[in-house]
Amino acid sequence: MKNLGFIGLGIMGAPMAGHLQVAGHKMFLNSHGGVPKNLLDAGGVDCATAREVAEQADIIITMVPDTPHVEEVLFGEHGVSSGIASGKIVVDMSSIAPLATKDFAARINELGCQYLDAPVSGGEVGARAGALTIMVGGPEKTFKEIKPLFDLMGKNITLVGGNGDGQTCKVANQIIVALNIQAVGEALLFASRAGADPAKVREALMGGFAASKILEVHGERMIKRTFDPGFRIELHQKDLNLALDGARTLGLSLPNTATAQQMFSACVANGGAGWDHSALVRALEIMGNHDIA
């Protein structure tokens, strides 16, 4: 069993850390919102700072909202870099900018430590079930060492390439998810406005070429109006900003990604920053003056 550090114990991080703890690993924990009581009751150690986590743990995992948060956790005052020792491993499972990730990895490497970027997909449901998709960037040797820990948190685990490539893969994932949510929302809105039962339409579509995880899970959310997150719109907006910023740097046009981002912005304008991202359909409903259900 290993001494593990876990920084960032929100909707996703808490259950992920819980799976590692159940497997018998000693957990050193830190979170902006406080460490959940269930993790402490099971033997987790509450650390006051990221530096304290790094001093105690051999492998330090971060799971925080955005690029500036990762930078602060790693390199800010009392950050991981101030407490880390040569030979330790940092695994960032947040979803952040690929170029910044390359820089963070280089700075951790200079301290004699290894770095993996390992963003995840699957939302709260996947985190609780230990069934996340994990997209990893970094050295193959380090990946193989950490793979047994990934297996406790996920089911589909892929070494995509070097540092930053895991984050690039996650950005691509978020483009696909957003565009699929928009497509499902438009289809169900069309069906409902035309007088068909959207639940029956969804059921029929699940047996054909249009079937998808988005139609299965988020199509049901749209019909049942269950928009509690899940994965918050404001976080998906952040990920699409990474995509659009990266596209500008690369000289690419991502027109449908930009449209999906505007749909999310319309939801935020109507108080929906904290809604589940399946609630993108609300923007379509407002534009069409018609609710699916």
**DSSP one-letter code for 9:** -
Task: Look up 102 and say whether it is catalytic.
Answer: no
Residue that the structure tokens 């981002």 belong to = 261
Q: Are 10 and 34 in contact (CB under 8 A)?
A: no
Residue 141 tokens, joined: 């040797």
**Cα separation, 194 vs 12, whole angstroms:** 38
- The closest of 229, 166, 219, 175 to 197, measured between CA atoms, is 219
β-bridge pairing 89-92 and 114-117: parallel
- 132-163 b/e (C-beta count within 10 Å ≥ 16 → b): bbbbbbbbeebbeebeebbeebbeebebbeeb
CA angle 37, 43, 47 (to 5 degrees): 70
Q: Give me the catalytic one of 141, 170, 213, 224.
A: 170
Amino acid at 266: A
Positions marked catalytic: 170
